[in-house]
């Protein structure tokens, strides 16, 4: 097992050449681990020594207000009001209500997102966004709706704009090979959630999942064409005979090695599915929070192909690795609780599968899911495993007092994002670095 890279190594890696997107995402996640486990003391305006429920209940204020940049960007057309023209330059903008509807002053998080990084420093801008998400949360109304959350997710996940024509072209191709499976699932997606049913139609869910299925189908077809072996069997035999074993083992030209390398880098491979049961629930919050299907499509497709491709590969091997990590992390953080569950034959495979696969989207209420996802997208979706451990710890007394914990674990209590995030931040510090590295890579 390799040790976690030092800050100097991270800086060198960031400065060297043009690293791949996958490598940069791994670096950002490791940096997030260092940030969360360092008591937040690295932030220039933070003097706190710990992050717990009390800190999130009364988050520490920044020493100075968020810098108001001299250069202001015009708002996008989708966000601009028909009565209020976009403002450019240094002209003062008229205050308006935030997405929460409470008061007229914009939150520091919204100001930071709208104004962009100071002097074009993207790294500093992302650090500021992450800190504000952890300390102030995204402002939203009672239904969980926020005027800027979708833009925050697009920025945190580094997703460029998707042309509407691209999405429409996928829609116009008609039924994908996974259409029947999709229709068998969509009607029961968050079926008991009135907020979701009021805002998202089954038709839009079908369209989005069908479009993603076509996109994944095309990627698999392209990858299969690249990895198809040559038909010249004589040439293959000559290469096999004349190539020394040491070189043959290191060769990266074989289809198997190509697939393994693609799997590690988060690329869709021949083993990937174009739809698996549960993708409908994972897709639901994206459609609920987005302002258009195109935005939801960009978010969902990018998320499953870059952040958790292992969840849709083969027999969901990434999900099963995540379930084993739930058991291992619980055993480290709460050994008594873990021992009791194991004595009852209750491994995470039996109760946590939906929570791992859907990033806790299967547990209501939906507004709390959105707040939890703000945190996951800021610091890494791999932290969902620790969020599940945090939920188990919050149920600790009830589980230990029950002779049949399987009845309790059939459905988790309603999400409380603030408490779960606060407890997850504490749990991070107890996870050894080698195990945390496994958390980062489990969904790849």
Give one DSSP letter per residue of 285-329, joined into a string.
HHHHH-SSHHHHHHHHHHIIIII-GGGGBTTTHHHHHHHHHHHHH
| Amino acid 241: pLDDT | 53
Q: Residue 141, class by beta-carbon neighbours within 10 Å (0-12 exposed, 13-18 middle, 19+ buried)?
A: middle
Instruction: Look at residues 440, 443, 442 and name the one whose alpha carbon lies nearest to residue 28.
Output: 440
Q: Give tens-digit pLDDT for 211-244.
A: 999 999 999 888 777 766 544 455 554 554 555 5
Higher pLDDT, 312 or 253: 312
Higher pLDDT, 351 or 221: 351
In a domain, residue 85? The reply is no
Pair 177, 242 in one domain:
yes
Strand partners, 313: 272
The contacts of residue 111 (CB under 8 Å, 6+ apart) are 66, 68
Which pLDDT band, with edges at 50, 70 and 90, does 62 fall under?
Answer: very low
Poorest-pLDDT segment among 96-110, 274-288, 315-329: 96-110
Pair 120, 31 in one domain:
yes
Pair 306, 172 in one domain:
yes
The contacts of residue 236 (CB under 8 Å, 6+ apart) are 229, 230
Q: Which two tokens stand for residue 265?
A: 């880098």
Poorest-pLDDT segment among 39-43, 106-110, 205-209: 39-43
Pair 333, 413 in one domain:
yes
Residues counted in the chain = 444
Rounded Cα gap, residues 365 and 362, in angstroms: 9
Pair 214, 111 in one domain:
no
Rounded Cα gap, residues 142 and 201, in angstroms: 20
Pair 273, 324 in one domain:
no
| Amino acid 17: pLDDT | 45
Tokens 């027999």 sit at which residue? 315
Rounded Cα gap, residues 32 and 150, in angstroms: 21
Cβ atoms of 402 and 340 closer than 8 Å: no
| Amino acid 227: pLDDT | 62
| Amino acid 83: pLDDT | 37
| Amino acid 243: pLDDT | 52
> Looking at the 3D structure of the chain, how many domains does it have?
3
Rounded Cα gap, residues 207 and 213, in angstroms: 10
Pair 249, 342 in one domain:
no
In a domain, residue 145? The reply is no
Mean pLDDT, rounded, of the chain: 77
In a domain, residue 83? The reply is no
| Amino acid 106: pLDDT | 79
User: What phi, psi does 7 have (nearest 5°)?
Assistant: -65, -35
Q: Give tens-digit pLDDT for 167-186.
A: 999 999 999 999 999 999 99
Pair 280, 375 in one domain:
no
Strand partners, 272: 313
- How many secondary structure helices (H) and strands (E) does the chain include? 25, 0
Q: Give tens-digit pLDDT for 109-124.
A: 999 888 888 888 888 9
Pair 326, 398 in one domain:
yes
Which pLDDT band, with edges at 50, 70 and 90, does 278 fall under?
Answer: very high
Cβ atoms of 234 and 224 closer than 8 Å: no
In a domain, residue 149? The reply is no
Pair 327, 261 in one domain:
no
In a domain, residue 328? The reply is yes
Pair 179, 212 in one domain:
yes
Domain assignment of residue 220, given as a range: 164-310
Pair 404, 382 in one domain:
yes
Q: What is the mean pLDDT of residues 8-22?
A: 45
Which pLDDT band, with edges at 50, 70 and 90, does 273 fall under?
Answer: confident
Whether pLDDT at 30 is above 80: no
């Amino acid at each position: 097992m390799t040790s976690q890279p030092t800050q100097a190594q991270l800086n060198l890696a960031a400065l060297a050449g043009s690293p791949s997107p996958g490598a940069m995402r791994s670096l950002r996640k490791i940096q997030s681990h260092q940030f969360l486990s360092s008591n937040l003391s690295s932030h220039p305006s933070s003097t706190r020594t710990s992050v717990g429920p009390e800190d999130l209940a009364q988050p520490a204020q920044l020493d100075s207000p968020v810098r108001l940049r001299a250069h202001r960007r015009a708002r996008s057309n989708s966000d601009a009001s028909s009565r209020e023209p976009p403002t450019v330059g240094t002209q003062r903008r008229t205050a308006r209500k935030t997405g929460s509807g409470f008061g007229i002053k914009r939150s520091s998080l919204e100001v930071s997102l709208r104004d962009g990084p100071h002097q074009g420093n993207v790294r500093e801008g992302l650090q500021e966004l992450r800190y504000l998400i952890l300390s102030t949360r995204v402002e939203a109304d009672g239904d969980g709706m926020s005027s800027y959350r979708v833009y925050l997710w697009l920025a945190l996940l580094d997703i460029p704009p998707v042309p509407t024509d691209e999405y429409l072209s996928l829609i116009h191709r008609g039924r994908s090979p996974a259409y029947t499976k999709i229709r068998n699932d969509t009607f029961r997606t968050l079926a008991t959630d009135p907020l979701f049913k009021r805002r998202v139609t089954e038709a839009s869910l079908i369209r989005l999942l069908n479009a993603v299925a076509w996109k994944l189908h095309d990627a698999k077809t392209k990858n299969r064409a690249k990895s198809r072996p040559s038909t010249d069997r004589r040439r293959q035999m000559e290469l096999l005979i004349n190539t020394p074993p040491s070189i043959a083992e290191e060769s990266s030209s074989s289809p198997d090695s190509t697939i393994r390398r693609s799997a590690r880098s988060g690329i869709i491979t021949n083993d990937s599915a174009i739809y698996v049961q549960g993708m409908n629930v994972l897709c639901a919050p994206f459609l609920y929070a987005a302002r258009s299907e195109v935005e939801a499509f960009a978010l969902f497709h990018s998320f499953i192909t870059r952040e958790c491709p292992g969840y849709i590969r083969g027999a969901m091997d990434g999900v099963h690795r995540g379930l084993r990590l739930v058991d291992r992390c619980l055993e480290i953080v709460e050994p008594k609780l873990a021992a009791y569950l194991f004595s009852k034959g209750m491994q995470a495979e039996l109760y946590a599968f939906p929570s791992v696969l859907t990033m806790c989207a299967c547990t209501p209420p939906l507004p709390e899911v959105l707040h939890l996802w703000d945190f996951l997208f800021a610091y890494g979706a791999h932290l969902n495993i620790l969020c599940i451990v945090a939920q188990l710890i919050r149920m600790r007394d009830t589980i230990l007092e029950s002779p049949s914990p399987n009845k309790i674990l059939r459905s988790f209590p309603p999400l409380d994002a603030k408490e779960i995030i606060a407890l997850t931040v504490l749990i991070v510090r107890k996870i050894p670095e080698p195990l945390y590295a496994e958390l980062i890579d489990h969904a790849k």
